Structures are given as structure tokens and as C-alpha cells.
Structure 1
Amino acid sequence: MKNAAEKLNEGSITSGENVSFWIDTTEIASFKTPDRDIHTEVLIIGGGIAGLTTAYNLLKAGKKVVLVEDGFIGSGETGRTTAHLTSALDDRYYFLEDTFGKEAAKLAAESHTAAIAEIEKNVTDLNIDCSFKRVNGYLFLHPTDKEKNLEKEFEAAQNAGLNIGLLKSTPAISNGEQTPCLAFYNQAQFHILHYLNGLAQAITALGGEIYIEAHAEKISKNGAIVNNYNFTAESIVVATNSPINDLVTMHTKQAAYRSYVIAGKIPKGSLPYALWWDTGDAESKWPSQPYHYVRVENFDDNYDLLISGGEDHKTGQADEEGISEFTRYEKLEQWTRSYFPLFEETIYKWSGQVMEPVDSLGFMGLNPGDENIYIITGDSGNGMTHATIGARIICDAITGNKNKWEDLYSPSRITVKTGFDFAKEAVNTAAQYLDWVSASDLENTAELQAGQGGIMTSNLKKVAVYRDFDNTLRAFSAVCPHLGCIVQWNNDEKSFDCPCHGSRFAADGTVINGPADSDLKPLPIK
């Protein structure tokens, strides 16, 4: 088996240029690539935590399962997480109470608590060495937030049945004795890619089939085309972060955000294994009110790793705030040191894509308008638990069992009380189509340095251009094949990102994130 760096150097498909700690410290499992037509009971598209957990559950239930992944296991957004396992949701329980009612908020808390327990059971049953730990989590005030909101959340989280405490100080952070917080007890953390490799081994041991470097397109009720082969099935599960089988419906209910992560060494044992979050920027221009999130991970005999994330913005819209991708890492490092001064230099940095539903809860179940196509999306910063909940809901649906969380997470639900945020996201998306007539990044390709890309106008057409490190120039249509937005260059992850619905394309035009399921159209170079 090869490690991530070797695979990346061979040009394997990933969802970004930067290598996460998880990818860098995990051997890449080898699986076959498609070589023939396939028929199965359940076809699962996506080899992250959502797809693998669904496959494992269905195989245990006696179903015949084939899973396809267009990169390698965990090479998409799952491998770019920070792997918090928590029932402390990134949107407040008092918001869920107001939006869905107290009983629904209880169901949400119950489902995320159960998801952590299910992951722990899988770790134990399969003897997966993934550094799983039960830890406490601490939610403390962002400077723009009010202490009364902590008290509201304490009451709502108690109503939802969570084991929680209201503390006058926040453990282990700088000036924590003056910083009140909520303590969410008995949360957890793990090494996500070690966990996925354990699930993948269990899937093949149970008779499931896994295909890598297997790109699925033209998804229908009959299956999908995978590397030009027909993969047919009775049920199809699309577990691709953002659904690639849906043109419009789900993308009016959620928005794609980019979140940034740094990791640096701290002296071994200097901080407890724990999770920390601030309550988010109440003055942010983004409806999601981005927050910071921190955890500790084992590194070596002398050091632990402090992993810190935040500084989110809508995908493809980093410059909306006049803050570049690189500056966001700098801001994140400054913030981290202000609360955790033992943080040494950044040794890893990466970013990931988060789907933010307008009403805070994920969308897991039958895709609207379909009878046998299921989706898992809308992770809202809680991807590890949302994915595990979704896998349970879909397994129950396919095996004919009623799941008590099914209605709460239904992709067909309509949430009237979130109309304002829905309108803000819709207006933002519509505004991106003005890029058709706005000025371009580049006047001509002579401006491009090696390893750089941008958008220029040629003969009234928007063109995405990239200069490779061997000075080869590549050109593509800058029109996203999903719904026609103009993509933007992401100089950090070396990708072209769609500011409307979050599709992303590698520097060679290859699609690496849905909802688009095809590449940018190549153009001739003059």
C-alpha cells in the first residue's frame, strides 16, 4: 500500500492541494477499479464516512452492496474534517426548539448521541485502532455574542436531554477563568481515516465490493454510468457531500461553505484531550455565523497536535470580505494562539467544504421526487454524526423498517421559519451570475506564474486558465456544468470553485466536488 503523498504525486483525484493530517498519516487501501458492467441490490456512490457506514449497515442486514468512489477511500471531504464527534450542534438547540419544536430538538439530540455510540460500537466490534476517545466539549462565547445566549442554550440542551453543565470558566484556554462556557459531557473524537479503513475492511469481509477511481455520472433510478460501465441496482445511495444526482431542489435548501484548518505541535500532555468551540461571529455577513473549533490529537512521544478550524466563507467567495485564502490561515493562527498560546508553528494546513442547510439539520433519506434514490447531505459542521445518522435512516428505509428520525431529517421537509436565511442565501446565489458580465481576474495569460490559475475573457467568453509547473498552459470553459455559474480560482487548494452551489474542479478541469458530475470543458490554446 502507498501513503497519501505517493498517491498525490501520481495525480490521484483529491478534493484539494493541501494534505490533511489524517491523509498524511494513513496508508491508502488498495481496491479494484471498474472493469465490467455490474448489477447489485444497492449501489452506493461515495467512499467517505456516509457511504462506508451505509454499506456496512446494509451488508449486516443481508443486502448485496457495491460502493464506488471516484478517488480513494476518504479522499473527499471526510478526509478534510477535524473529526469532532459531538451532540453539541453548530447551530443552537434553542434555534432547533423554535424552528422544529421541543420534541424534535430532543430527537436531534438523541440521534447525534446515538451516532457517537454507534461509532464507538463499530470501533469495539471491529477492533479498529483509530484513537477513539470519550472527551468533554466546551462551548464558550465569541466576543460578538451575549452571555444570555449561553444560558438559553443551556436550558434548551437540558430540555433536549443532553448531559450538560453551565460553567463560570472554560478549562485549558487562555483567560479561561473569565470565560463562561457550556460543558457537553461524554463527547468523543477519533482518527477518521483509520476508522474508515477499518470499515472498508469489514465491508469486503462481509462480501461487499468497493471500487476506487470510479467516477459515477448520469445517475438514475436504474443506477449510474461508472467509468463508462453500467452499474445497475434496485436502490441507489448518493453519499457525495453535495448530491450529484440533483440539479436544483436540494441546492435551494443548503449552501456550500469553505472552512480552514491548521494543526501545530504542543508539548505532550500540556492540554487535555477535549473539544472546544466558540459560539460564532454574530456580526458575520454569512448566515451560517462561522465559528472556531479546536481539539487535541496524539502526534508522537514528545508532542500532541492541536487542530484548529474556522474562518469560513461561502465556497468560491473568499474575496467577498476582502480576505484571501492565505490570510484566513494567518487569522486562524492568530486566533488559536490567543486562546492556546502553547501552539507552535503550523505544520499542517488544509480546507474542507461544509454544506450548510438553512434550517440546521442534515438531509438524509429519499431524494425528493425519486422512489429508490437516497441522499446524505447537509452536514452543517457535524458531518461525522450526521453521516452516521443518515446511514442508519437509509438502511432502515431500504430494509423496510420505520426509523424514528426519518421525518426530522427528510430531504423533502419544508421549514417555514427559516425563510429569512433562505432568502439571503438565494439572493447571494443569484448575484453570482453577474460574473458573466463582470471584470475578469486576468487580462492575458502572460500574467500567470507557474502553479497559478485565473479567469479571463476571450471573445466574450469566460475562460478558466491554469499554468502548470512545466509551463504548460491549460484552458477550459469557466462555466460550471451544473447550472452555469462562472467558477473562481482558489489559489490555496489549486482548484476552480463554483460560487453558486459549491462544485469544484482540479487545475486540470477534473470535477472533484459535486453537484456537477462532469469536468470543465477544455478549450484549445492559441
Structure 2
Amino acid sequence: MDSIWSTTSSLRERSRLPGDRETQVAVIGGGMAGILIAHTLQAAGLRVAVLEAGRIGSGQSQHTTAKVTAQHGMCYDRLIRKLGAQKARQYAQANLAACKALDDLITTRGIDCDWQRQNAYVYGDDPAALDREARAAALLGLPADRTDASSLPFPAAGAVRFSDQAQFHPLKFLGALADGLTVYEQTPVLRVERDHLVTPWGTVRADRIIFACHFPFVNIPGLYFARMYQERSYVLALEHTPPVDGMWISADGSGCSLRTWGTYLLLGGGHHRSGAHPGPSRYDWLRTQARTFFPKSQERACWSAQDCMTPDGVPYIGRYAAGRLNWYVATGFNKWGMTSSMAAALILRDLLCSGTSPWAQVFDPGRFGTTALRGVASQSGQAAVHLARYFFQIPSETASQLSPGQGGILFYQGKKLGGYRDLDGSLYLVDLRCPHLGCQLEWNPDERSWDCPCHGSRFDARGQLLSGPAQEGIVHEG
């Protein structure tokens, strides 16, 4: 579904790769991370090319709520306890530097992207936990303090406030920044061979290669499929609501997030693991919240986002794997892609240009502490469950039972398939095994899509690929 950003901006089309090319740095992915990384490296004097499978900003960047902040939920007390004060401080300072770098970039270049300074709040019902988080954030040098939650339309015990954060229109920013770069659209990277990127239209040889494509599609080396999962969340754009001061998220993740853009209030929430839809419509849940707290509001748009989640809550930014010294990665941004994209650009610029970064240690993709290992074990267990479901789950429906607009897992002519009947009554069949690593796909009724519960690949109701790490569709032939 179209976000408020995609319906209020227009980015010019770029040509596809015109044949074999060479460059110093090739960036895979033309979202916020890829474009910021390319811009920052080009500003440092490197020759850079961006290869985007579709259109720039057509993935997760157009589905964000576009908050630029070092306030990442209730994270700093946990980071100090789990990783130690030194690494927690690196995380905090990298995100503060990213916020400042974005502000400087937008101000210096005069980019018209609705950049607005705002306070960021995390609210909750546990005063002691809020106190601990405020103290931890302040200890790390963040502009944080405890406050009440009086601007909210519902009760809460209080909030942690980060002052002088920001929000913006992500696609207006992205379009302006990309105009100075070499970007090839409609150029999917099919495979990477050492220093060569193979596409349908030619090969790019690069001294350095950066994976900024949301979820890396090369499984070995790196094993990112075993170290991340993806999570969906949902947003409504509402008009005719009372003003809400600042940007708000809930401490435990079960409540609503709120921010304004112009005359709109963006109301978000209802997150769940991709491919594990909780049953009742997440959009309907948000609409119930809207009717309860903003009874005069009117819905103008709805959409959902998908985020790569890491076991320790810290992105992977740095060398892709020990055996690929010229490969780099920026992924696992959890729910903070706008700020993390700029942090990735700063870290990778330092690593490529000088070999070191003051924040590299905490973001190191090669880390495998106790927390990360537990996450790998959990992720492997989830994958095993959904691999087994393909063989042992018995469908409960037949094609004749699907109503118009409904999808589900069914038996059809002796085969276990996914089916969707459109509003005109036509039936579309798909293969249920994700082409990435074979997990059974599940139907998402809110998005009318087939989602992978293992690694988050998504396909539309007719089987066309929406997002990776899969690289091909699931249309059933025959």
C-alpha cells in the first residue's frame, strides 16, 4: 500500500546499467542507506556507483515513519548492562553524530525535505524503568531527561525525553541527494563474485563492494540469515486530530507510536514477526485506537514497514565477513533506519578511507558474544520449525473455499500450494516454499502478500517478489 511519502513526492527515473563498468566502490541498494553511503564516500573523493533492483527509495525507505533520533526505545540501560559502558557509549555517540551530520547536510545543501526539529519521547507505565533509562542515556552523553507524558491522548506513567531530535520527508531528501550520484535503477545484482557484481545488463567490477540492500542475499560467508529476522509494523495517516507535540513510541512496543507531518498524524503499531501474522487485522487494531483517542479523525493512508532485527539490538556495519576483505555491509537497523543509515555512512567512510572508526567495535558484523549466539540459536530453531511446516502442516482449505479477496494454504490437484482469489474471482496459485532457503510461506491478510517467517522475504498475491533476501518469485507453473 502507498505511504504518505510516496503519494506526496515524485522521484525522477534513472537508466539501468548500460553494460560492463568499473568503479572504486559499488553500493548494492538505492534506499536511504545506499544513497547516504554513496554520497558520503563520493564526498570523500571516491568514485562510487549505486545498483538498485527497482527504483530508488522503493523499498523500506518509503515506508518509514522518518524519525531522525538517537532515542531508540528503552535501549541504553540494556546496552550498558549487556555490552558495557564503552560499547554503549560508542552506539550513543554514533547516533548523535548521525543526527548532526543529517542536519548539517540538509542545511548546507538547502534540501527542501520538511526537516523539523522535535523532541523524541519513549513513554511507559514503569516509572523505575523510565528512571533507569534516563540515567543511562544521560551517563552516555545523550540529551535525555525524565518527564511526564501530558501530550499523549491516553494515560502513561511518564516518559524519557530526548531533546532536539528531528523528523523529515524521506523521499524528498532521498531524491535531492541522489541527483549528484551515479545510480543505475532496474539493475538487480544477481550474484557477487569476489570483486564482480553480475546483473542482467552487464558486470560491474569494483575495488570495494557494499551491501546496503536491507537484507544481504549472499548467505555464505556472513551467515546473516542466521543472525537476523524481519518484523512488520503498521501505520495510519490521520487528519483532523488534535496536535501531538514531539515524536512518541511506547517502552514495551505494544502501544502506539505517534508523530505529525503537516496536517497529518502518523499513528503506528501492531508489530509482529514477518510471516507470523497474529490473526486479527493490524490495520483494524490501529483504526480502533484512532476511533478511541481521535474520534474526529479521518484516515488518508495506511501502509506497513519491515525491519531487520538483530539479537543484541545493534546494527551490523563494517566488513561483511573475514574471508571477504573488500566486502562491507550495513544492515540490521532494527526500527531506526533513518539514523542508522547516516551512522553507517560515517562508519564506512572512515573504514574505507582510513581503516578505522571510533564506533566500529560495537557495530562490528563479526561479533558473536553470548547474546548474539543465543540469537543465532533462536533464529535457527525458528527456521527449522517453518521448514518442517511445509512437510507436516495439512491444509484445511480447497480452492473452492477461497472467497474473493482471500488467500490461504490449500490442496489443489493433489499439491500443497498457496492460493489467492482476487475480487473478480480469478485464482492465483503460488509455490509455498520460499526460494531463499525453503521455509514455508504464510499469508498476510493485511498486505495480501506471502511472507517468509524465517528470513522475511515477501511476495505479492500473484507470486511476484516484493522484497528479499529471496531473488526470484514464487509463481506456480502448471
TM-score (normalizing by structure 1):
0.85
Cα offset, 1:334, TM superposition:
2.9
Letter in 2 for 1:35: P
Equivalent residue, structure 2, for 1:192: 170
In 2 relative to 1, CA 306–103 (structure 1 residues): closer, same or farther, beyond 3 Å?
Answer: same
Which of 268, 279, 285 is the aligned partner of 1:309? 268
Cα offset, 1:215, TM superposition:
1.6
In 2 relative to 1, CA 200–440 (structure 1 residues): closer, same or farther, beyond 3 Å?
Answer: farther
- Say whether residues 1:42 and 2:25 are aligned partners: yes
- Say whether residues 1:123 and 2:95 are aligned partners: no
In 2 relative to 1, CA 31–469 (structure 1 residues): closer, same or farther, beyond 3 Å?
Answer: farther
Q: Deviations over 1:217-273 (max 9, x none)?
A: 112322322224222222111111111122571122221111111110135xx4254
Equivalent residue, structure 2, for 1:15: none
Equivalent residue, structure 1, for 2:67: 84
| Partner Cα separation in structure 1 for residue 169 and residue 131 of structure 2 | 33
Equivalent residue, structure 1, for 2:385: 431
Aligned ranges for residues 103-502 of structure 1 at < 5 Å?
Answer: 103-142=86-125, 146-167=126-147, 169-174=148-153, 179-203=157-181, 209-246=182-219, 249-266=223-240, 270-281=242-253, 290=254, 292-298=256-262, 304-319=263-278, 323-324=279-280, 327-336=281-290, 338=292, 340-341=293-294, 344-368=297-321, 369-417=323-371, 420=374, 422-439=376-393, 443-458=397-412, 461-468=415-422, 472-502=426-456
SS in 2 for 1:331: helix
Cα offset, 1:421, TM superposition:
5.1
| Partner Cα separation in structure 2 for residue 157 and residue 441 of structure 1 | 50
SS in 1 for 2:270: strand
In 2 relative to 1, CA 494–272 (structure 1 residues): closer, same or farther, beyond 3 Å?
Answer: closer
Cα offset, 1:430, TM superposition:
2.3
Letter in 2 for 1:523: E
| Partner Cα separation in structure 2 for residue 471 and residue 233 of structure 1 | 49
**RMSD, aligned α-carbons:** 2.2
Q: Is the 8 A contact 2:350 2:356 kept in 1?
A: yes
Cα offset, 1:46, TM superposition:
0.9
SS in 1 for 2:248: strand
Cα offset, 1:355, TM superposition:
1.0
In 2 relative to 1, CA 462–396 (structure 1 residues): closer, same or farther, beyond 3 Å?
Answer: farther
SS in 2 for 1:384: helix
Q: Is the 8 A contact 2:464 2:475 kept in 1?
A: no
SS in 2 for 1:256: strand
Q: Deviations over 1:377-406 (max 9, x none)?
A: 111111111111112222222223411111
Equivalent residue, structure 2, for 1:58: 41
TM-score (normalizing by structure 2):
0.93
Letter in 1 for 2:44: A
In 2 relative to 1, CA 341–509 (structure 1 residues): closer, same or farther, beyond 3 Å?
Answer: closer
- Say whether residues 1:25 and 2:8 are aligned partners: yes
Extract unaligned runs of 5+ from structure 1.
Answer: 1-17, 204-208, 282-289, 299-303
Greater shift, 397-406 or 132-141, is seen at 397-406
Q: Is the 8 A contact 2:68 2:339 kept in 1?
A: yes
Letter in 2 for 1:31: R
| Partner Cα separation in structure 1 for residue 394 and residue 18 of structure 2 | 42
| Partner Cα separation in structure 2 for residue 140 and residue 466 of structure 1 | 40
| Partner Cα separation in structure 1 for residue 127 and residue 376 of structure 2 | 27
Extract unaligned runs of 5+ from structure 2.
Answer: none
| Partner Cα separation in structure 1 for residue 128 and residue 2 of structure 2 | 40
In 2 relative to 1, CA 423–152 (structure 1 residues): closer, same or farther, beyond 3 Å?
Answer: farther
Equivalent residue, structure 2, for 1:286: none
Cα offset, 1:125, TM superposition:
2.1
Cα offset, 1:175, TM superposition:
5.1
Which of 96, 110, 129 is the aligned partner of 2:79? 96
Number of equivalenced pairs: 476
| Partner Cα separation in structure 1 for residue 451 and residue 349 of structure 2 | 33
Cα offset, 1:99, TM superposition:
1.2
| Partner Cα separation in structure 2 for residue 343 and residue 92 of structure 1 | 35
SS in 2 for 1:237: strand
Cα offset, 1:451, TM superposition:
4.7
| Partner Cα separation in structure 1 for residue 33 and residue 395 of structure 2 | 37
Cα offset, 1:34, TM superposition:
2.7
In 2 relative to 1, CA 226–234 (structure 1 residues): closer, same or farther, beyond 3 Å?
Answer: same
Greater shift, 411-420 or 250-259, is seen at 411-420
Cα offset, 1:408, TM superposition:
1.1
Q: Is the 8 A contact 2:317 2:344 kept in 1?
A: yes
In 2 relative to 1, CA 99–460 (structure 1 residues): closer, same or farther, beyond 3 Å?
Answer: farther
Cα offset, 1:318, TM superposition:
0.5
State percent identity of aligned pairs: 29
Q: Deviations over 1:198-219 (max 9, x none)?
A: 111132xxxxx21112222112
Letter in 2 for 1:240: C
| Partner Cα separation in structure 1 for residue 184 and residue 351 of structure 2 | 24
Letter in 2 for 1:305: Y
Cα offset, 1:419, TM superposition:
5.1
| Partner Cα separation in structure 1 for residue 325 and residue 142 of structure 2 | 35
Q: Is the 8 A contact 1:217 1:226 kept in 2?
A: yes
Letter in 1 for 2:470: A
SS in 2 for 1:398: helix
Q: Deviations over 1:491-510 (max 9, x none)?
A: 32232111111111223433
SS in 2 for 1:520: coil
Cα offset, 1:461, TM superposition:
4.8
| Partner Cα separation in structure 2 for residue 420 and residue 139 of structure 1 | 27
